[in-house]
Amino acid sequence: MTPFGTRVHDAMEQRGRFCVGIDPHAALLREWGLGDDVAGLERFALGVVEAVAPLCSVVKPQSAFYERFGSRGVAVLERVIAESRAAGALVLLDVKRGDIGSTSQAYADAYLDPASPLFSDAITASPYLGFGSLDPMIDTARKHGAGVFVLALTSNQEGPEVQHARTIEGGSRGERVADLVLGRLRALNDGADPLGSVGAVIGATIAESVEHLAFNGPVLAPGFGAQGGTAADVKRIFGSVAPHVLASSSREVLRLGPDAAAMREAVRRANDDLAELG
């Protein structure tokens, strides 16, 4: 398979830089007039896929919202993955896995091996057990032309409690993690053209600029849209790296359902807003 870095670069060029999160919150199911059950989950998730997957470069289902319904919910997730890819969108499965040894390899086999029904184009992963703990996922992704997005600087409200804590050297823990993660990503993506396949997750609402941390890979920037992030924020934070950024939102689109036309229009507007990034 063509490496993920090449595929996501081409997808952003052809379909834009907006990534839609397909996150079936219980509250959203109710807003759509659906039950908080497997039938409601299926109608919601596949309705979103039908509306946006033909337009988006990337869709990002959050695995937890499917897992909460057990095996039947995971079966819906399998359909979301398959039908999104059939519609031409890349699938970034948001699982944020991070473990060691054989467990890390098992996660890799579950999400990054084409033999698995949950095989996705890329996943999110956490480096907080040490970057080396992600080696099985990165190696498996490379073997099968998939990608991994590693958490670096998140934009959630709770993040500063850990990320802004000061180290004995005087900097913040978040800056230290970002430096370590992006340093490793530079090495992993070295020489890749047009982009490497190991990306970073950096929030679209963080205060600081990270342009100096360029690493020749894709960036997932959650927090766009309903959470306050704008195209101007993406340009401010990422500077010359902005053309490699996938700005992600879920509620910005999902709250417009079940009106498929309104969801599609929201995707078009977001892609137009982000088009100025390059």
pLDDT over threshold 60, residue 169: no
pLDDT over threshold 70, residue 127: yes
Q: What is the pLDDT of residue 225?
A: 77
Annotated catalytic residues are: 96
* 117-121, 142-146, 236-240: segment of lowest average pLDDT: 236-240
Give the pLDDT band of residue 103 (cuts 50, 70, 90).
very high
pTM of the model: 0.92
Q: What is the pLDDT of residue 166?
A: 46
Instruction: Give the span between the Cα atoms of 114 and 51, in whole angstroms.
Output: 26
pLDDT over threshold 50, residue 167: no
Query: What is the arithmetic mean of pLDDT over 250-268?
Result: 96
Asked if the bond preceding 194 is cis, omega within 30° of 0, the reply is: yes
Q: What is the pLDDT of residue 155?
A: 59
Burial (CB count within 10 angstroms: exposed 0-12, middle 13-18, buried 19+), residue 26: middle
Instruction: Give the span between the Cα atoms of 104 and 110, in whole angstroms.
Output: 10
* 14-28, 96-110, 134-148, 208-222: segment of lowest average pLDDT: 208-222
pLDDT over threshold 90, residue 176: no
Give the pLDDT band of residue 43 (cuts 50, 70, 90).
very high
Is residue 146 within 8 A of residue 121, CB to CB? The reply is: yes
